[in-house]
C-alpha cells in the first residue's frame, strides 16, 4: 500500500488531507511538528511526503534539505504563494508546490501525478465489485469486462479516485477533456448518463444540485 507522510501544523487541514487520501486507499501518517517529522524520517520511509513550510521545530525548507538525501518525493503545501517561494521550494528538490487554499480534487490529482512519476501509484484500482487495470485500461465489473470509450474510462477513473467527493462539471470537463470549460454541460451530462448505464450505477453516481456529480460508496 502507498504510504504518505503529512507534515502540517494546522490540524484541520491535516485532518482534511488525511481523510481524503485515506478514502482513496492511501496509508497516511500525520505529524504537526518539523522536529518530530525529522525524527520519524530517520527510521521510516514513505512513498510521498506532503510538507508544509511554516512549521514549529524545523521549518519545511530546513526539512527539505534533509529529505532530499533520502530520495523521497515531496510536495510543498503552504500559504506562501509568491513566485520566489515557489522557485525556492522547487530548487530545493520538491516535485510540486501547492498553495493554500486548494481544492481537494487538485491535491489528489497532484499526488497521483507525482506517484506515477515515481512509479508508485497503484496499477490495480478496486471499488466494490469493479476492478480497473490502469496499465491495460481494462475495466471489469463482477469479473466481467465492461466496454468503455476512452472518455468513459477517464470519467470512471476520475469518479473512483474521488469517490464521495462532489465534482463540479467544469472540473470534470477540464480533467477528462483536457480543455477549458465553456459552460456547456451537455457533453459531461451525456457521458455520465452512458457511464451510469454501462456500469449499472444509475443510483451510485448522484447528481449534485448546482454542482455536478458525486460517486457514492
DSSP states along 136-183: TTEEEETTEE----HHHHHHHHHHHHTTTS-EEHHHHHHHHT-S---S
At 205 the pLDDT is 96
At 141 the pLDDT is 95
pLDDT of 38 higher than 90: yes
What architecture (CATH level 2) is domain 124-215?
Orthogonal Bundle (1.10)
Residues 192/213, Cβ–Cβ less than 8 Å = yes
pLDDT of 12 higher than 60: yes
Q: How confident is the model over 197-207, as pLDDT tens digits?
A: 999 999 999 99
Q: Where are the domains of the chain?
A: 3-117, 124-215
Provide the pLDDT confidence category of residue 120 given band limits of 50, 70 and 90.
low
At 71 the pLDDT is 80
- Most confident residue range from 89-93, 105-109, 135-139, 189-193: 189-193
At 40 the pLDDT is 93
pLDDT of 178 higher than 80: no
SS3 state at 14: helix
Residues 121/2, Cβ–Cβ less than 8 Å = yes
pLDDT of 83 higher than 80: no
| Sequence-ordered list of residues with C-beta below 8 angstroms from that of 102, at least 6 positions apart, any chain | 77
CATH hierarchy code of domain 3-117: 3.40.50.2300
Q: For residue 82, give the C-alpha cell.
A: 509568491
At 212 the pLDDT is 92
pLDDT of 73 higher than 60: yes
> Among 31-35, 37-41, 123-127, 155-159, which stretch is predicted with the lowest mean pLDDT?
123-127
Single out the residue of 109, 103, 94, 113 nearest to residue 49, CA to CA: 94
| Axis-axis angle for helices 104-117, 11-23 (nearest 10) | 60
Whole-Å CA distances, 44 to 84, 111, 189: 31, 20, 45
Amino acid at each position: 500500500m502507498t504510504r504518505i507522510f503529512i507534515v502540517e501544523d494546522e490540524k484541520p487541514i491535516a485532518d482534511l488531507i488525511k481523510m481524503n487520501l485515506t478514502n482513496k486507499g492511501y496509508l497516511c501518517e500525520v505529524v504537526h511538528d518539523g522536529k518530530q517529522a525529522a525524527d520519524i524520517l530517520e527510521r521510516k520511509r514513505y512513498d510521498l511526503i506532503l510538507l508544509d513550510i511554516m512549521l514549529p521545530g524545523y521549518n519545511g525548507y530546513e526539512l527539505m534539505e534533509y529529505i532530499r538525501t533520502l530520495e523521497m518525493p515531496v510536495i510543498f503545501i503552504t500559504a506562501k504563494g509568491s513566485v520566489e517561494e515557489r522557485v525556492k521550494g522547487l530548487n530545493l528538490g520538491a516535485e510540486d508546490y501547492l498553495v493554500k487554499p486548494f481544492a481537494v480534487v487538485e491535491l489528489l490529482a497532484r499526488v497521483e501525478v507525482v506517484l506515477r512519476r515515481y512509479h508508485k501509484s497503484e496499477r490495480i484500482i478496486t471499488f466494490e465489485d469493479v476492478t480497473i487495470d490502469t496499465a491495460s485500461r481494462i475495466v471489469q465489473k463482477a469479473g466481467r469486462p465492461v466496454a468503455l470509450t476512452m472518455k468513459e474510462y477517464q470519467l470512471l477513473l476520475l469518479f473512483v479516485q474521488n469517490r464521495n467527493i462532489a465534482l463540479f462539471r467544469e472540473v470534470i470537463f477540464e480533467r477528462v477533456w483536457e480543455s477549458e470549460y465553456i459552460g456547456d454541460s451537455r457533453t459531461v451530462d451525456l457521458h455520465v448518463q452512458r457511464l451510469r448505464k454501462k456500469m449499472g450505477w444509475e443510483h451510485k453516481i448522484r447528481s449534485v444540485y448546482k454542482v455536478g456529480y458525486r460517486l457514492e460508496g
